[in-house]
Amino acid sequence: MSQPAQSKPETAPKSLQEQIAEAVRNRGVPISHLLRLMSALEADGSANENLRTQLRARIGLPLSA
């Protein structure tokens, strides 16, 4: 007998702004993910300049800081 697949509760996808804010707070986010977020932010015409600045600072932040 096959068992029905367990369904995960559906959550709304996070907005780009939420993803960036989370990535800036989380020191474990790989640089490749930060760069993808920066690319997405650059492509977003309505991007918040403050988010761009925070993300750039996070990308350049030394690991020991």
Annotated domain spans of the chain: 16-60
Going along the chain, which residue ranges are E strands? Answer: none
Token readout for 25 is 């707070």
For residue 35, the model assigns a pLDDT of 94
Tokens of 29: 């986010």
pLDDT of amino acid 21: 92
pLDDT digits (tens, 9 = 90+) for 17-37: 999 999 999 999 999 999 999
| Mean pLDDT along residues 53-57 | 90
Helix axes 16-25, 49-60, angle to 10 degrees: 30
